[in-house]
């Protein structure tokens, strides 16, 4: 396809007059003639149309860590991981409620409870449902749960009835590439969970991890599968190479490639909340603010077992780049003004960017644990 025809198609897609097929989407990702700036500008059109210049902050809370019998090759908690991560069974209710409050105080739009393991049984679901009710009665936060495979409609309904706003279950990659990242469950298990939760009326959060040895068409296939399911929240993670990971350790992804992947997901899923998720600090470095041209949400305070930028640093980066925080916390704007004053005396990209992978320790994973 000629460059002018590629540009015409890109502009039509940016205006949402049409949607890209797999071949066209792959060309957007790979064409050396189409600059990253051009792609970001086009993908920024639906971002601003549906989300203005707002950014939503998400905070992850590992309510259970380690002890996992699955072998997801990208996960430090998998059964065969050589490096021990701090392991604990379920956090107490007091700890979880304290973390929900901290998330609300940081301006988080959504609070995500994440557990290790293949999937929850009836007793775990009963506990999560109780926690969801309590968190939502105390704070005007949306609550997301990421608890693994759920294919039992009754369990899904119990979570929906408790008021669960979203269920996270990432597709991670394409059906074709899935066997290279995990052997204990497959792509169809993942898709069945999405179907079960969606049928129960819970909105989905499902995304990918780029940089696990996949080819561009795998990312395109995953983006199209998420569009087909009408997934409203899509975390785009960039593989964080923890020592001993089972998937092939890639070279550091280039910032340009990461930005093009974010643009691709926005162009294929124009109305979805696209999250510049795990690994943004490591792979995008001081170009993270460019990612906000197409992504409208991110995580603060790190990821499951790896540290990342804190809320203060991230909010300063967002405000310095000219975006606002979409928060449920009406007290937050006053605090943001203080941060903005500080930000004006610093460079627009002067935020803390961990250059290397730093694992969380127990104190960071369980800040409210009573000794």
Give the binding site for ligand SF4 (CB under 6 A). 68, 70, 72, 75, 77-78, 116-118, 148
Residue nearer to ligand SF4 on the CB measure, 225 or 246? 246
* SS3 label, residue 172: strand
204's CB contacts (< 8 A; 6+ apart) are 166, 167, 168, 169, 194, 197, 198, 229, 231, 232, 233
Could you tell me which residues come within 8 angstroms of residue 89 by beta carbon, excluding any fewer than 6 positions away?
A: 64, 67
Contact, 147 vs 154, CB < 8 A? no
CB atoms within 10 A of CB 180: 16
Written as six digits, the tokens of 317 are 């980066």
Q: Which residues contact 251 (CB under 8 A, 6 or more apart)?
A: none
Helices and strands (H and E) in the chain: how many? 13, 10
Least CB distance to ligand SF4 at residue 87 (A): 11
CB of 33 to ligand SF4, least distance (A): 38
Alpha-carbon distance 267 to 46, whole Å? Answer: 8
- In angstroms, give the least distance from the CB of 335 to ligand SF4: 34
The Cα 195–Cα 103 span in angstroms is: 29
Nearer Cβ to ligand SF4, position 106 or 305? Answer: 305
CB 190 to ligand SF4: min, Å: 11
What φ, ψ does residue 330 adopt, rounded to 5°?
-70, -15
Which residues touch 231 (CB under 8 Å, ≥6 apart)? Answer: 194, 204, 205, 206, 269, 272
Secondary structure of residue 244 in the 3-state scheme: coil
Q: Shortest distance, CB of residue 35 to ligand SF4, whole angstroms? A: 35
CB of 214 to ligand SF4, least distance (A): 17
Please answer whether residues 230 and 264 qualify as being in contact, where contact means their C-beta atoms are separated by less than 8 angstroms. Answer: no
For residue 19, the Cα-to-chain-centroid distance in whole angstroms is: 23
Q: What are phi and psi of 55, to 5 degrees?
A: -130, 130
Q: Which is nearer to ligand SF4, 114 or 259 (CB)?
A: 114
**Which CB sits closer to ligand SF4, 63 or 75?**
75
Neighbours of 11 (CB within 10 A): 12
255/238 Cα distance (integer angstroms): 10
Cα–Cα distance for residue pair 159/143, rounded to 1 Å: 11
Min. distance of Cβ 283 from ligand SF4 in angstroms? 20
d(CA 364, CA 320): 27
Shortest gap between Cβ of 148 and ligand SF4 (angstroms)? 5
Q: Which parts of 76-121 fold into alpha helices (H)?
A: 93-105
* Residue 301: CB minimum distance to ligand SF4, A: 19
CB of 116 to ligand SF4, least distance (A): 4
């Amino acid at each position: 396809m000629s460059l002018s025809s590629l540009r015409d198609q890109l502009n039509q897609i940016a205006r949402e007059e049409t949607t890209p097929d797999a071949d066209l989407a792959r060309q957007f990702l790979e064409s050396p003639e189409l600059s990253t700036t051009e792609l970001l500008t086009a993908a920024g059109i639906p971002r601003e149309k549906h989300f203005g210049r707002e950014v939503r902050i998400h905070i992850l809370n590992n309510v259970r860590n380690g002890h996992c019998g699955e072998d997801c090759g990208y996960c430090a908690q998998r059964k065969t991981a050589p490096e021990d991560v701090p392991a604990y069974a379920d956090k107490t209710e007091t700890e979880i409620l304290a973390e929900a409050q901290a998330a609300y105080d940081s301006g988080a739009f959504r609070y995500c409870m994440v557990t290790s393991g293949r999937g929850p049984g009836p007793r775990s679901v009963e506990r999560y449902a109780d926690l969801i009710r309590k968190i939502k009665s105390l704070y005007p936060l949306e609550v997301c749960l990421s608890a693994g495979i759920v294919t039992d409609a009754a369990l899904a309904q119990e979570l929906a009835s408790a008021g669960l706003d979203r269920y996270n279950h990432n597709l991670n990659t394409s059906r074709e590439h899935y066997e290279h990242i995990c052997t204990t469950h497959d792509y169809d298990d993942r898709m069945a969970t999405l179907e079960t939760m969606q049928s129960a009326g819970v909105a989905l959060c499902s995304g990918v991890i780029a940089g696990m040895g996949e080819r561009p068409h795998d990312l395109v296939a995953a983006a199209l599968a998420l569009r087909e399911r009408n997934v409203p929240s899509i975390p785009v993670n960039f593989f964080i190479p923890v020592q001993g990971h089972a998937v092939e350790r890639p070279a550091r992804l280039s910032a340009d490639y990461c930005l093009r992947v974010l643009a691709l997901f926005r162009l294929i899923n124009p109305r979805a909340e696209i999250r510049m998720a795990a690994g943004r600090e490591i792979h995008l470095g001081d170009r993270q603010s460019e990612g906000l041209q197409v992504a409208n949400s991110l995580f603060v305070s790190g990821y499951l077992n790896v540290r990342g930028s804190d809320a203060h640093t991230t909010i300063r980066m967002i405000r310095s780049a000219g975006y606002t925080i979409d928060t449920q916390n009406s007290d937050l704007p006053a605090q943001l003004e203080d941060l903005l004053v500080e930000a004006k005396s610093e460079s627009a990209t002067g935020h803390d960017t961990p250059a290397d992978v730093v694992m969380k320790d127990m104190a960071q994973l369980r800040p409210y644990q009573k000794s």
